[in-house]
Amino acid sequence: MTPDENRQIRSRQKSRAIVTGLLLGALVILFYAITIAKIGGGH
């Protein structure tokens, strides 16, 4: 494998990791918002 191929694979893995992290963050924010809405709506 050439160094250039290694670099391409690594950048692909990095972008996938970033997308996965953003999705996880969005899910956390979504659950947080739902929880706040439930607690706020219950009173």
d(C-alpha 31, C-alpha 38), whole Å: 10
| Residue 40 confidence (pLDDT) | 85
- Report the predicted TM-score, pTM, of the whole model to 2 decimal places: 0.70
- Which domain range does residue 31 map to? 1-43
Domain count, the chain: 1
Spans of the chain below 70 pLDDT: 42-43
d(C-alpha 26, C-alpha 34), whole Å: 12
CA of residue 25 relative to chain centroid, distance: 5
d(C-alpha 15, C-alpha 4), whole Å: 17
d(C-alpha 11, C-alpha 8), whole Å: 5
